[in-house]
Amino acid sequence: MKLLLDTHVLLWALLEPQKLSLELRNSLEDSDNTLVVSTAFAWEIATKCRLGKLQHARSVVENYAMALHRLADVDLPLSCAVARRAGLCDEPLHQRKHPPDVELCIYSEGIL
């Protein structure tokens, strides 16, 4: 099964795994699952570190490629086409089911 991780799960898995439920930790460790993250997460985490909102995650920013290699199987690229498609979605942001970063992943995988 493909598991699309959001930013919180990515950071907690790397820095504070005790914040994850046992069920989720087991799912992340299950070799039958493919763990997927978005390239956009690097930008999001770096921006929040720069603004002082995620200082504890600075090590993830500084070693993002190594952190992803340690955890995720797939790093979804963010192409112009994907960003454009997500941005043109008619549904207002406050009514969407998914946060924008997850939406970009969903579009890039063609799930919607």
Domains in the chain, CATH or no CATH each: 2-109 (3.40.50)
**β-pairing verdict for 74-76 and 2-4:** unpaired
Closest listed residue to residue 2, CA positions, set 74, 70, 69 = 74
| pTM of model > 0.75 | no
CB 72: neighbour CB atoms within 10 A? 21
In this prediction, residue 105 carries a pLDDT of: 57
- Rounded to the nearest 5°, which phi and psi values hold at 2? -85, 130
Digits of tens for pLDDT over the chain (112 positions)? 888 888 889 899 999 999 999 999 999 999 999 888 887 788 888 888 999 998 888 888 888 888 877 887 777 676 777 667 666 766 554 455 655 655 555 555 544 4
